[in-house]
């Protein structure tokens, strides 16, 4: 089986972001960047399938500026075999991303495409589902368990009511949730080895996809701030406050 994993370079999830005072967006220059955490779970899932003998090739694709090579290298160090950077300096909407990925899928013909369920920058949670539509493949989003049984998958998904298990034939698209696995930290020799693995760089314009944004972002603003309130000194005081709040609520 061949697996394609799509990964995104984002502002590191530990960074406290700052909205630019002119409302033009979030400050990303001089900010620590890393692989989107959900994408790491997707890569780990692919590597585990390969280690179990179920996959023989893992291809990593990332769409973004040249430094996105770094997240591809991270995935190669985790155990993937080769990488493709679809290079663009333009920020792209999720539909354009999905269309570019659909072209890569058409070229690579993977049996399984793994992606993170969402990216922690725009929090969209779109691309896997869009890619599934564009390639006319079944999808299993928010996966917390993936079982391969011949040419079919059994995926357990985290949903609002708990979990659910669905079955889908390959080829298919699966998006990873955080409890799918624990991503490994690549050991230094693997990091060194990653540098010698094939990594193709291809301009996004080469794929014949219209990348023009559909939406106009008018402004980006900080959320209203919450200020610290009062500290109480006893449980009795706290109980009185809660009781008063709850009684007031009932009056509504």
Partner 1 sequence: MSVLLLAELDDGTLSAATARTVAAAAQLGPVDLLVPGPRAAADQATAIAGVAKVIHAKQALLADGLANLLAGLAEGYTIIAASASTTGKDVMPRLAARLDIQPVTDIVAIEGANRFVRPIYAGNALETVTDPQQKHVLTFRASAFRPAASDNAAPVETLDTDIASAARFIAAHRTQSDIPDLATAQIVVGGGVSVGSAEGFKLVEALGKTLGAAIGATRAAVDAGYAPNDWQVGQTGKIIAPDLYIAVGISGALQHLAGIQGARKIIAINTDPEAPLVKIADVALIGDLFEILPQLTAELEKSGVRR
**Positions 30 through 89 that interact with partner 1 (CB under 8 A):** none
Which residue in 37, 65, 91, 138 binds ligand FAD (CB under 6 A)?
A: 37
Residue window 209-228: x/- pattern of binding to partner 1, with contact defined by CB under 8 A: ----xxxxxxxxxxx--xxx
| For partner 1, the closer CB: 200 or 220 | 220
d(CA 178, CA 79): 19
Would you count residue 29 as binding partner 1 (CB under 8 A)? no
The minimum distance between CB 13 and ligand FAD, in angstroms, equals 5
CA 125 to chain centre: 8
The minimum distance between CB 21 and partner 1, in angstroms, equals 12
Residue window 65-104: x/- pattern of binding to ligand FAD, with contact defined by CB under 6 A: ----------------------------------------
Would you count residue 204 as binding partner 1 (CB under 8 A)? no
Would you count residue 195 as binding ligand FAD (CB under 6 A)? no
Would you count residue 106 as binding partner 1 (CB under 8 A)? no
The minimum distance between CB 158 and ligand FAD, in angstroms, equals 11
**How many residues bind partner 1, per CB under 8 A?**
85
**Among 129, 60, 126, residue whose Cα is nearest residue 92:** 126
- 171: preceding bond cis by omega (within 30 degrees): yes
d(CA 68, CA 124): 19
Report the relative pairing of strands 82-87 and 112-116 from DSSP bridges. Answer: unpaired
d(CA 43, CA 46): 5
* 162 class by beta-carbon count within 10 Å (0-12 exposed, 13-18 middle, 19+ buried): exposed
Which H, E and C letters describe 91-114, residue by residue?
CCCHHHHHHHHHHHHHHHCCCEEE
Which residue in 19, 33, 120, 170 binds ligand FAD (CB under 6 A)?
A: 120
Which residue in 54, 125, 190, 202 binds partner 1 (CB under 8 A)?
A: 125
Confirm if 39 and 97 have CB atoms less than 8 A apart.
Answer: no
Binding site for ligand FAD (CB under 6 A): 13, 37, 120
């Amino acid at each position: 089986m061949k697996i394609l994993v799509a990964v995104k370079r984002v502002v590191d999830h530990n960074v406290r972001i700052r909205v630019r005072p002119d409302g033009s967006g979030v400050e990303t220059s001089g900010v620590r960047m890393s692989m989107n955490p959900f994408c790491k779970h997707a890569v780990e899932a692919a590597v585990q399938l390969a280690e179990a003998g179920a996959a023989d090739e893992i291809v990593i694709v990332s769409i973004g500026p040249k430094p996105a090579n770094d997240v591809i290298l991270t995935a190669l160090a985790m155990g993937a075999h080769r990488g493709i950077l679809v290079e663009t300096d333009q920020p792209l909407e999720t539909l354009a991303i999905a269309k570019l990925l659909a072209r890569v899928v058409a070229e690579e013909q993977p049996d399984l495409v793994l992606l993170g369920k969402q990216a922690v920058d725009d929090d969209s949670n779109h691309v896997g589902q869009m890619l599934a539509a564009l390639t006319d493949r079944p999808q299993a989003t928010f996966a917390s368990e993936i079982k391969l049984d011949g040419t079919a998958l059994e995926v357990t998904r985290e949903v609002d009511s708990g979990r659910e298990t669905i079955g889908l034939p390959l080829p298919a698209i699966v998006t990873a949730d955080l409890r799918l696995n624990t991503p490994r930290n690549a050991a230094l020799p693997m990091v060194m080895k990653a540098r010698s693995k094939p990594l193709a760089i291809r301009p996004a314009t080469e794929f014949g996809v219209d990348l023009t944004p559909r939406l106009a972002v008018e402004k980006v603003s900080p959320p209203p701030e919450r200020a610290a309130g009062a500290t109480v000194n006893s449980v009795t005081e706290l109980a009185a406050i809660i009781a008063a709040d709850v009684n007031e609520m009932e009056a509504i």
